Amino acid sequence: MKPRHFFFIVGLLLANVAQAQPAERPIKIMVAPDHADWHYKVGENVKFTISVFQNGNLLKNSSVRYEIGPEKMTLTKRDSMLLATGTTTVEGGSLKTAGFLRCVAVVKVNGKEYRGLATAGFEPEKIVPAVENPADFVAFWDQAKADLAKIPIDARLTLLPERCTETVNVYHLNLQNFREGVRLYGILCVPKKEGKYPALLKVPGAGVRPYYGDVKMAEKGIITLEIGIHGIPVTMDQQVYNDLGAGALNAYPTNNLDNRDRYYYKRVYLGCVRANDFLVNMPQFDGKNLAVTGGSQGGALAITTAALDPRVKWLGAYYPALADMAGYLQNRAGGWPHIFDKNNPHHHTPEKIKTASYYDVVNFARLLQVPGYYSMGFNDEVCPPTSMYAAFNVITAPKTADLFLETGHWTYPEEVEKMNNWLVQQLKGM
C-alpha cells in the first residue's frame, strides 16, 4: 500500500466508534490457544488449535498455512500443512517477557483465501510503557488549557428539524476552538422536556466523515454531543469527506509531528475540552454529571479528555489508539497510528519522538482520577493489545477491563450494550 493512502484507508476502517462485526463467510477458520482465558505465564508454552469449518462441519483435507510471532514483530515460526481431519494443533512457543504472541492461519478454498487468528497474552498486566514521560508534561498541558480559556466559546447552533424526534432536538453545533478562526463542529442532541440532565461527550474514531449524533442516548435523558476533530462542518455530503481524506487531511496523525506546539492533535485534544466548556454551560446541564466515550482514536480522546478536564466524572473507552507509540523503538508493537514502526524510518528523529511523548495516551492515563470502563480484545491488529495494556497498567484510578478476547478492531452488540449501560448507570445514578 502506498504510504500516502495509508491513513485514509485506515480512517475508513475506523469510521465508527464501535466497529461492526466482520461479515460471516462460508468457510470459517478458527484459531484458539489451549488456555480458555488466553492468558499464560511468561516462559510457559502455548499451543494453538487451527480448525477449518464448512457448513458447521470440519472441512477435511484443507491446506493451511500459518505464522506465529509477537504482534507486529518478526515471525518466530511459519509453516503449512494438510489438515486431513480439518483440524490440528501446533506448538506456538513462548515469550520471555510480558506481551502477546499471535498465530495467524490462512486456508484457500475454491480459489478464495480465508483467515483466522488468535493471540495469547503473557502476563499482560506486567507490560511496562516504552514512552518517555516528559518532566514538563503537566505544565505543557496546563498552559495549553490556560490559553484555551482565554478564547471565547462563541457557540453557534443550527436546528436540524429532519433529525429531531418527538422527544429530542438535534442541532449542528460549532464553537471557537483553541485560537481565533479555528472552529469545532459536532451534533448536539438535547431532550425536549424541560429539566436538568447529565451530559455525554462522544469523541470520534480516526478518519474524515459526517456525524449524526446519539439520539438514542438522548432519549434516555442524557444530553449528547458527538464531535468531529478536523474543524469542518459534520453535515456535508460524504464525497466531500472522501476527497478531504484522500487529499488535504491525508496522513493528518503525523502533521507537524516535529513540533509539540503545532502538532495536529494539540487542536484535537483542546477541542475536546472546549466541547466540555459548552456542555457544562448549557442551562439544561445538571451541573455535575459529565462523561466521555469513544473507540480507537476516540478511545484515546476519551482518556486524554478525562485526564485534562476535571469536570469529567467517568470515561468509557473501546480499544484506545495513540498508546505507547514508542513501543516500536524497543522492538515491540506500538499503538496506532504506528508512527515509529520499521516502515516509517523518516519519523525516527529526536524531535518527533519527543513530540509524540506529549500526546501519548500512556502519559494521560497516568493522570486519570475518575472511574473508567475499558473494552478491548486480544486479536486487535490496529490497536495492538501490547500498546493498550501499556496504558491500562499505569492507571491508578478505578478501572474495569471488559475483555472480549477474540474481537479485533470491532465490537459485538453485547459489548456496546454493556458500555452504554455502564455510562447510563453512572450518569443517572441508577
What are the pLDDT digits (tens) for 20-65? Answer: 788 889 999 999 999 999 999 999 999 999 999 999 999 999 999 9
Angle 123-323-246 (CA atoms, 0-180°, nearest 5)?
135
Q: Is 230 a catalytic residue?
A: no
**Rounded-to-integer distance, Cα 410 and Cα 405, Å:** 11
Q: How confident is the model at residue 181 (pLDDT cuts 50, 70, 90)?
A: confident
From residue 415, give the alpha-carbon distance in Å to each of 146, 318, 402: 37, 9, 8
- CB-CB contact of 372 with 316 (8 Å): yes
Average pLDDT over residues 175-199: 95
Which cell goes with 383?
490497536
Catalytic residue among 324, 347, 380, 387: 380
Angle 297-172-224 (CA atoms, 0-180°, nearest 5)?
55
Residue 1, pLDDT score? 39
Which cell goes with 123?
502476563
Average pLDDT over residues 2-8: 39
What residues have CB less than 8 Å from 419, skipping those under 6 apart? 18, 293, 316, 318, 373, 375, 402
**Rounded-to-integer distance, Cα 362 and Cα 388, Å:** 9
Q: Which residue type occupies 185?
A: Y
Percent above pLDDT 70 for the chain = 95
| CATH 2.60.40.1930 for domain 16-124 | yes
Alpha carbons within 13 A on the beta-carbon side of 217: 31
**Rounded-to-integer distance, Cα 62 and Cα 239, Å:** 43
- Tens of pLDDT, residue by residue over 277-335, are 999 999 999 999 999 999 999 999 999 999 999 999 999 999 999 999 999 999 999 99
Q: Which residue type occupies 303?
A: I
pLDDT at 6 over 60: no
Residue 60 CA to its chain's centroid (Å): 38
Q: How confident is the model at residue 19 (pLDDT cuts 50, 70, 90)?
A: low
Q: CA quadruple 89, 90, 96, 98: dihedral positive or negative?
A: negative
Q: Are strands 168-176 and 57-58 parallel, antiparallel or unpaired?
A: unpaired
For 122-136, 175-189, 207-221, 256-270, which range has the lowest pLDDT when averaged over its residues? 175-189
Supply the Cα-derived Rg of the chain in whole angstroms.
22
- CB-CB contact of 134 with 140 (8 Å): yes
Q: Just give the CATH number of 137-428.
A: 3.40.50.1820
Residue 72, pLDDT score? 95
Q: Is 409 a catalytic residue?
A: yes
Which cell goes with 265?
492533535
Helix axes 264-280, 137-149, angle to 10 degrees: 60
Provide CATH 2.60.40.1930 ranges for the chain. Answer: 16-124
pLDDT at 16 over 70: no
Provide CATH 3.40.50.1820 ranges for the chain. Answer: 137-428
Q: Is 80 a catalytic residue?
A: no
Q: How confident is the model at residue 3 (pLDDT cuts 50, 70, 90)?
A: very low
Catalytic residue among 296, 357, 375, 387: 296
